[in-house]
């Protein structure tokens, strides 16, 4: 069997402003032209969604050819696309071969509402952490995603949703009635984004930039299980919105649910949140709290939650537990969620319960997982002969 030679051209997707300027220099673009060329390229790539240099009609033919020799505008490969009865979409995406020639897979989820759409993207293949209620946590970390692969999830979703000027979706069922189908991006897919800090930060910079994907920092939310020392740095270097997977109000229980708590317990985590740059009533931190039957869902827990967060500009998001095969928990009864929510509501937090979306296609919070495993050298040898 012959396979096509690997495309070694550099992917322009996900390169930051300085990286792209440097890449243009290496490709021989004179210094005085680089700023303008960067603008032109970004406009074609991120505002119009083109995938070939040939379409870039305001760039001379010679330069287009030169660019084509050095660069490509990549897309992730769709393995499957599933559409839930509630309109939620989930893509299983195959990554380009890594340095060992392995092609790993990740999941990306799109959650449409009437007038907006949220894309939930992954930051790692698998996760190093092992939160006991999370399906992703049962898949060992395979590797970090590159900035190209993080931004690539947004590009691919925009293709599939017809979210480019003049484009239409192949299957428009359930899409919002809004000019932009993706109005928000959340880093709540597979992986712990703060353990892939630099690549996630670079991807967010391109996503927020008005000349890049143009979403703005306030429409991007990073969710962390609580990597406390990186929280203030994230605020300084990326400045997006922040969500914290709190899930328990006592260290003893949080140690079990979110084991990173043993390293950075609740007090330290909340102190890091207080030090989040720009924190104000207009820029609140979201605290996520998964509702586990008989585990963390008592009214006493709700009262303690409200007490703990009293001096932090916060939103509270109660997430009904989403089941997965073999999960050791059940979702709290609706009645109990309501009782819990009432305490939270009375403390002044509006509409705190997140309605589960896409459960029928295993696309809801914490249900994502792919079959990718990190092969040991011996196993790779065994399969390659
Ligand atoms: N690793 C990051 C982001 C991904 S998880 C983090 O942990 O924050 C996104 C959210 O889904 C987190 O709040 C996570 O705790 C929650 N979650 C995980 N498994 C879940 C499940 N089975 N049901 C509901 N929420 C879950
Ligand atoms: Fe990893 Fe987040 Fe799942 Fe915990 S909840 S295992 S940090 S993806």
Average pLDDT of the residues in 232-249 = 97
pLDDT confidence of residue 2: 53
Q: Residue 139 has what pLDDT?
A: 81
Q: Determine whether 127 is an active site residue.
A: no
Lowest mean pLDDT, pick from 203-207, 286-290, 316-320, 362-366: 362-366
Ligand 1, atom 7: closest residue by C-alpha? 225
The Å distance, Cα 54 to ligand 2 centre, comes to: 42
Q: Is 371 a catalytic residue?
A: no
Q: Is 288 in the pocket of ligand 1 (CB under 6 A)?
A: yes
Report the alpha-carbon distance of residue 118 to residue 121 in Å, rounded.
10
Instruction: Using DSSP bridges, classify how beta strands 285-291 and 241-245 pair: parallel, antiparallel or unpaired.
Output: parallel
Q: Which ligand is nearest to the CA of 258?
A: 2
Phi and psi torsions of 376, nearest 5°: -80, 155
What is the average pLDDT score of the chain?
92
pLDDT band for position 379 (cuts 50, 70, 90): very low
Mean pLDDT of 145-169: 96
pLDDT band for 385, please (50, 70, 90 cuts): very low
pLDDT of residue 3: 59
pTM summary value: 0.94
Give ligand 2 pocket residues (Cβ under 6 A).
127, 129-131, 134, 136-137, 191-192, 225, 245
Least confident of 125-129, 207-211, 297-301: 125-129
Q: Whose CA is nearest to atom 24 of ligand 1?
A: 321
Instruction: Tell me the pLDDT band of 324, cut-offs 50, 70 and 90.
Output: confident
């Amino acid at each position: 069997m012959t396979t096509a030679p690997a495309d070694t051209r550099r992917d322009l997707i996900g390169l930051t402003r300085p990286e792209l300027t440097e890449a243009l220099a290496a490709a021989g673009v004179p210094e005085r032209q680089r700023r303008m060329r960067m603008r032109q390229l970004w406009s074609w790539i991120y505002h119009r969604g083109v995938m070939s240099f040939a379409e870039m009609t305001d760039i001379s033919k010679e330069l287009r050819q030169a660019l084509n020799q050095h660069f490509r505008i990549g897309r992730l490969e769709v393995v499957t696309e599933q559409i839930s009865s509630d309109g939620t979409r989930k893509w299983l995406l195959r990554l380009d071969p890594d340095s060992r020639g392995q092609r790993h897979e990740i999941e990306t989820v799109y959650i449409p509402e009437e007038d907006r759409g949220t894309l939930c993207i992954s930051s790692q293949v698998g996760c190093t952490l092992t939160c006991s209620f999370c399906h992703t946590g049962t898949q060992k970390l395979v590797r970090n995603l590159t900035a190209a692969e993080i931004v690539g999830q947004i590009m691919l979703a925009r293709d599939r949703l017809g979210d480019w000027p003049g484009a239409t979706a192949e299957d428009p069922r359930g899409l919002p009635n809004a000019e932009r189908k993706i109005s928000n991006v959340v880093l709540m897919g597979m992986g712990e984004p703060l353990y892939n800090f630099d690549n996630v930060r670079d991807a967010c910079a391109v996503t927020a930039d008005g000349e890049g994907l143009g979403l703005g920092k306030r429409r991007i939310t990073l969710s962390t299980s609580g990597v406390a020392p990186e929280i203030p740095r994230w605020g300084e270097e990326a400045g997006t919105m922040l969500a914290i997977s709190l899930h328990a109000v006592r260290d003893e229980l949080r140690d079990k649910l979110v084991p990173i708590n043993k390293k950075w317990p609740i007090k330290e985590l909340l102190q890091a949140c207080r030090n989040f740059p720009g924190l104000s009533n207009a820029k609140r931190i979201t605290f996520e709290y998964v509702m586990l039957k008989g585990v963390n869902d008592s009214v006493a827990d709700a009262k303690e939650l409200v007490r703990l967060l009293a001096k932090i500009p916060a939103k509270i998001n109660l997430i009904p537990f989403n089941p997965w095969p073999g999960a050791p928990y059940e979702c709290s009864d609706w009645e109990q969620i309501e009782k819990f929510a009432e305490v939270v509501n009375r403390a002044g937090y509006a509409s705190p319960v997140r309605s589960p979306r896409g459960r029928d296609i295993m696309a809801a919070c914490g249900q994502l997982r792919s079959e990718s495993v990190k092969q040991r050298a011996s196993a790779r040898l065994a399969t390659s002969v």
